[in-house]
Structure 1
Amino acid sequence: MAGSLTSVSRVTTTATRAGARPDRGTRRDLLAVGAVGALVAVAAGVGWLLIDFSVGPNGRGPYTGWPPLWAQWAPHVGPGTVPALALAALVVVKGPEWAARLSWKRLLWVAYATAAGWIFFLALVDGWGDGIQGRLERQPEYLSAVPKIRDIGAFLAHFTDGIVAGPHQWTEHVAGHPPGVTLIFVLLQRVGLGGGGIAGLLCIFAGASACIAVAVTLRALGAEKVARTALPFGVLFPGAIWMGVSADAIFAAVVAWGVAAFAVGAVGRGRWREVYSLGGGLLLGYGLYLSYGLVLAGVVPLAVALITRRIRPLLIAGLGVVAVVVAFSATGFLWWQGIALVHVRYYQGIATMRPYWYWVWANFAALALVIGPATVAGLRRVRLSRGSTFAQLKPPPLLQSESDCNDRMGAAVVLAGAAVLAVVLADLSGLSKAEVERIWLPFAVWIVPVCAALPVRKTRWWLAAQAGLALAVNHLLATGW
């Protein structure tokens, strides 16, 4: 324990000295944020022109309520307003100090509880009924289909029969995803935990753990200092608006913990490393059956494998993925058949109403509102310069001293780069036209750690900016999906 406290003290001292230097990059940070803000404004302006002049396909414009977000203008306050403001203030004032001084395990528990509270209170701004309980009970959502599923085996075997629009079609969200997510809610009902309230809380508490999994991954890769510095930003993640309540929060958590388990296995010693690697593969494999787009999340564990330069854990994790694919295929649901049918269903509906030329760039404006201004500034800071390129990264066992901070930041840069690559691929595919503020949550959580590159003495200001954006969007717009 004494060694741990000494280590934390050295981290804090190093960070303080670094933050004491005159910061000449703040103006450039603000210019970067301003440029991205201009992108959001242009996306909104062009979106409203499409709506006003009905120049989009079928005369429907971008088919979204408040471009570039799926939302409606509805200034409001609610029972979650005051607690959300208070919690945000607490994290801004105390978050950086706690992140530097608390023991690792205590920090993770405090961060998890705070992140869960942040998501919960933001959702509660819309009230318990509209903000939490009723979200997943709406007609297009998963819970509306649960009462119809009496035999799980038959459900999986004949799932693809209801994907394409027709007399026996599944609801929009059920049809648009593999059966893994609906299966979760069916099993909850079978054990007596059905209903929108329990489902909503599951999304909140699962989504809150994603930032913890990211921190665990960074620490496994030898970047504990980065993990500690970035954790308050992960807690006040503006994307928390769409984690409460959305099944995509569960998707983000499953992928994040799959990557974290794989990372721990990749750097571990002894027989437990195989267990962690296999467990990570099983989680990542199940992620494929939560959302088709999560196949792109595979670039994140690949980035971990590149950083650690170890093939065996990757092969073991691959066995876990294959095991999940085989298990689902044995039930009669074939993933590749499902995604082909979803493509058909997609273009039977809103895909034809949303112009690709607009969303291929406006999606990034929506993503900017998810990751927040601090992450934008952090991305500007982490240029692949000397000391932070992948070629100069050392495997984690060589990263145990408190020196060489650039290599430690490099791990976060590589993971963020992998997430950005996944986002770009998803965007170019044309299967992510709008609503990416929730769809890209599993990728966005991996970009946030670049906030650790911001100067320490500016941390609280950037945290306040993150919280301010989330509170403004949540109180001015009625978000949905």
Structure 2
Amino acid sequence: MAGAFAVGGLLHARGVLRIDHLPPLHALARLPTPALLPAVAFAAVAVPVLPRLTAHLPMRAALAAAFAASLAWTVLLAMSGEGLAWPFTHPQEYLAGLGAVGDDPLGWLAGFTRDLPAYPTHVRGHPPLPVLVLWALAAAGLPGPFWAAVLVVVTGCSATAAIGLTVWRVAGEDAARRVLPYLALCPAAVWIATTMDAFFAGVGAWGTALLVLGARSRAGRVTLGLGAGVALGALPYLSYGLVPYLLVPLVAAVAVGVPRATVAACLTGMAAVSALFAAGGFWWPAGVLATHAEWAADPGAARPYLYFLVANLAVLALVTGPAAAAGLVAPGRARDRILPLAAGVAVLALDVSGVTRGEVERIWLPFALWVAAAAGRAGAGGTGAGREGDRRLLAAQAVLGLLLQGFVRSPW
């Protein structure tokens, strides 16, 4: 990380990285303000208390407590800066593209690829589903940046519960209880509030959770499989870069032995999503080509490949925190780290491809939360204080989140 920032500073000073002022982060430096104190106070309470709650509450209550803590932590961090809604007010964000949708979402969808150059930057860089989600939210009577932020933050924070639930089914209850505090206080919270990629993270996490739940529920195998298929099938229509993410649910399904009926239902749900978009006039491969053409013309494509090949991984380390690194090398069962490793392989594929050169603090959020789940291994200790987690590492997670929020000002 130190090397990535040192080399990035040199490249920025020489004008190579003109659009990144704090490389490898796409951000500006700033100084903390007293507005960060409520988040500091929350962390001071959560670090000793949350591991006890997740260790001793009934499992479903522990999942709910971790979700509530994640939500509180994320909101308090955001409120110490520009607030939850501010990122969505940017003229290049998704909400700025709603005017083109108007009252005809199907007509807009059919012409999406053709009209792509006229849209804001984030719309041009993604498939059409994020805009359609925000359009549906506004059509339901919840328009504007505030409600968009609420949707994104709640969905993103709910990934804590979904990942904990998946770990429970894959690696056992003890592993899930250990990982929950680390997920709740993950430094990724700085970017969960508020980037649309946090919404993608929540959708992917719940799609994976529903899939593994289908292995245990005989009565709900088909229903859960269909739900998983719809969520996972939506991922490529939320972001083109989420195709490698499907390795995570695949590995989870193999690990728990998802029955054929659930797998078939999942594949049916995924196919249904693709069929609906095709029927609406959006052909995914054509969208990929059009977006790649826009990306190639964008200044971001001129970022140096070799620098970000390494620097992206430094940013991933920041987003996931030191506890994730400790967990990845801690001794233990392979089953405990199989999901973080699957996410890591998917991230490496994106990194080597060169399509994610910078800005991965938000782009890789869906993957980062699974990598952060490795932190549960760092807190493995059997009983007592060990079972409640290594508080020093949990404190390090929280302190890193506070430092990132206090000293880094991101445009999202």
TM-score after normalising by structure 1: 0.81
Q: Using the TM superposition, give the Cα deviation of residue 380 of structure 1 relative to its aligned residue in structure 2, in angstroms.
A: 1.4
User: Could you say what the CA RMSD is over the residues aligned between the two structures, in angstroms?
Assistant: 1.5
The residue aligned with 2:306 is 357
**Residue in structure 2 matching 1:475, options 392, 396, 406:** 406
The answer to whether the aligner puts 1:185 opposite 2:116 as a matched pair is: no
The answer to whether the aligner puts 1:162 opposite 2:115 as a matched pair is: yes
The residue aligned with 1:303 is 251
| C-alpha contact 1:78 1:124 (8 A) present in aligned 2 | no
Consecutive unaligned residues in structure 1, runs of 5 or more:
1-39, 383-387, 389-405
| C-alpha contact 2:12 2:23 (8 A) present in aligned 1 | no
**Residue in structure 1 matching 2:43, options 68, 72, 88:** 88
- Structure number with greater Rg is 1
Q: Using the TM superposition, give the Cα deviation of residue 91 of structure 1 relative to its aligned residue in structure 2, in angstroms.
A: 1.6
How far apart are the structure 1 equivalents of 2:310 and 2:377? 26
How far apart are the structure 1 equivalents of 2:280 and 2:21? 39
Task: Write out aligned runs for 1:96-245 (5 A).
Answer: 96-126=51-81, 130-150=82-102, 151-163=104-116, 165=117, 169-245=118-194
Task: Write out aligned runs for 1:307-346 (5 A).
Answer: 307-310=255-258, 312=260, 313-346=262-295
**Per-residue deviation, residues 144-166 of structure 1 (Å, max 9, x unmatched):** 11123111111110011122x3x
| C-alpha contact 2:100 2:108 (8 A) present in aligned 1 | no
Task: State the AA in 1 paired with 2:29.
Answer: W
Secondary structure of the equivalent of 2:46? helix
Query: Judging changes above 3 Å, is the alpha-carbon distance between structure 1 residues 222 and 451 closer, same or farther for their aligned structure 2 residues?
Result: closer
TM-score after normalising by structure 2: 0.94
Q: Using the TM superposition, give the Cα deviation of residue 329 of structure 1 relative to its aligned residue in structure 2, in angstroms.
A: 0.7
Task: State the AA in 2 paired with 1:44.
Answer: F
Task: State the AA in 1 paired with 2:183.
Answer: G
Matched-pair identity in %: 36
The residue aligned with 2:350 is 426
The residue aligned with 1:74 is 30
| Structure 1 residue ranges (4+ consecutive) displaced by more than 6 angstroms after TM superposition | none
Task: Write out aligned runs for 1:45-84 (5 A).
Answer: 45-54=6-15, 56=16, 61=17, 63-77=19-33, 79=35, 81-84=36-39
Task: Write out aligned runs for 1:374-413 (5 A).
Answer: 374-382=323-331, 406=333, 410-413=334-337
Task: State the AA in 2 paired with 1:95.
Answer: L
Task: State the AA in 1 paired with 2:226.
Answer: L
| C-alpha contact 1:254 1:284 (8 A) present in aligned 2 | yes
**Per-residue deviation, residues 284-312 of structure 1 (Å, max 9, x unmatched):** 01111111111111101110122124461
| C-alpha contact 2:153 2:192 (8 A) present in aligned 1 | yes
| C-alpha contact 2:163 2:205 (8 A) present in aligned 1 | yes
**Per-residue deviation, residues 301-355 of structure 1 (Å, max 9, x unmatched):** 1101221244613232111111100111100001111011111100101234311
| C-alpha contact 1:96 1:459 (8 A) present in aligned 2 | no
The residue aligned with 1:461 is 392
How far apart are the structure 2 equivalents of 1:152 and 1:195? 17
